[in-house]
Amino acid sequence: RSYDAVVCGAGIAGVSCAHYLARSGASVLLVDSRPPLSHTSSLSTECYRNFFPGSVPLTAFMQRSVDLLEARAAECDNAFGLNRRGYWFLSASEEGAAQHALALSDPGLASCGGVSHFSDASHGLRYRHDAPTGAAAAAAAGGGGGGGGDGPAAMLFSGREAVQAYVGSLPPFLAADASSLLVASRAGWMSAQQMGMELLSKARDAGAATLIPSSLQGVRTASDGQVEAALLSVPGESEPLEVRTGAVVNAAGPYAGVVDALLRGGGGEGGGGRELPLQNEVHAKAVLRDDLSAVPGDAPMVVWTDPVTLPWSEEEAEALLEIGGFEASLAGSLPGGFHLRPYPGKPHSLLMLWEAIHADVAVPREPPEEAELRGSLFAELTL
């Protein structure tokens, strides 16, 4: 049979695409060489935020995305555990505080509920994991605004007293010298696997079909470049399966560059075309059992924005410098951006990531099955 669209890739992006196309009435075929949601989508941080200072379009894009997330959560009685605990960006330096204040002036935040700034402990606000971050600020101000109508898009607490007053009764897992706390309100996390399965189930209910395992081998196009068919490689078949379709969607995640090359190689005068500027990146995470509950399970996502110097002994630092390369860089000041959040389940665990540890690792356009993650160092350095 024929389909309105063939979606290549059954990760979060591809499943979401198939979901919304099918719900809009399109006939859809979802193809992948792996089971749905089993490759990079099974290893995501599972977080979201609409806070991207410096990019008004991305902020607006994510605002719409969070609207859709919340609508899907409402449809299934929040089966995928969507929360809105917020992102906390913390600093203990004057430079970091200045960066937080600059971020608060971003024009994209005006359309998402605006901002609030508190410089002492009299604000009367307390973090609550069971209420949308920012809701208390909205109530105190007598209203909401954008961002779901429940508070400002971001709140800045300047000075240790203001920060500690907001942190409230959370156990003292935060640095005592944190003097600036920037809270992104419309942010949090979910079970991405559960969300993906909900989207896939609803897509199938709306008529979407799957052909798994299979993979795109090429496309057939008309002389004007219009797609006419997708050529699929199916295990056990000696010849490609030709599926008539007017559109092929590239949702192949880290293999999007490979699929892009196949699409540009389609027959007809429309073959070729501009290569998409795609670049793969390493995004490693470490999950640590927290048997001592050093970080409470109701904590938000916490991001330390100041540069970090790891506490090596003099002998250790000298040894690192002698090794050279990446190891030598560990002896100096490292970029901030360390992330930490509770990871649900039993035993209680923490999810940690720090891009400074792998920012220089290049990944080719056609990635290897196993990326170089510096796995022997990553967990120790984040810890």
Name the residue with tokens 């609409």: 50
Q: CA-CA distance, 134 to 126, in Å (whole number)?
A: 10
Q: CA-CA distance, 263 to 243, in Å (whole number)?
A: 15
> pTM value?
0.90
Name the residue with tokens 């941080």: 45
Instruction: Reduce the DSSP state of residue 130 to 3 states and report it.
Output: coil
Q: Which amino acid is at 112?
A: C
| Residue 15 vs residues 222, 224, 283: alpha-carbon distances, Å | 28, 29, 21
Q: What is the pLDDT of residue 157?
A: 97
DSSP 42: G
Strands (E), 190-337: 209-211, 215-221, 227-233, 241-245, 248-250, 286-289, 301-304
The burial of 291, by beta-carbon neighbours within 10 Å (0-12 exposed, 13-18 middle, 19 or more buried), is given as exposed
Q: Which two tokens stand for residue 21?
A: 């196309």
Task: Judge whether 173 and 296 are in contact, CB under 8 Å.
Answer: yes
Longest dimension (CA), the chain: 73
Q: What is the pLDDT of residue 269?
A: 43
Q: CA-CA distance, 262 to 142, in Å (whole number)?
A: 55
Q: What is the pLDDT of residue 140?
A: 54
Q: What is the pLDDT of residue 13?
A: 96
| Residue 343 vs residues 194, 215, 289: alpha-carbon distances, Å | 15, 33, 9
What are the DSSP calls for 265-292, one per residue? T-SSTT---PPP---------EEEE-TT
Q: What is the pLDDT of residue 168?
A: 84
Task: Judge whether 263 and 375 are in contact, CB under 8 Å.
Answer: no
Q: What is the pLDDT of residue 310?
A: 94
Q: CA-CA distance, 147 to 54, in Å (whole number)?
A: 18
Q: CA-CA distance, 366 to 75, in Å (whole number)?
A: 37
Q: What is the pLDDT of residue 64?
A: 93
Q: What is the pLDDT of residue 144?
A: 41
Q: What is the pLDDT of residue 146?
A: 42
Residues 209-257: tens digit of each pLDDT:
999 999 999 999 998 889 999 999 999 999 999 999 999 999 999 999 9
Q: Which two tokens stand for residue 184?
A: 């992104």
Q: What is the pLDDT of residue 347?
A: 82
- Stretches in the chain below the pLDDT threshold 70: 133-150, 266-272
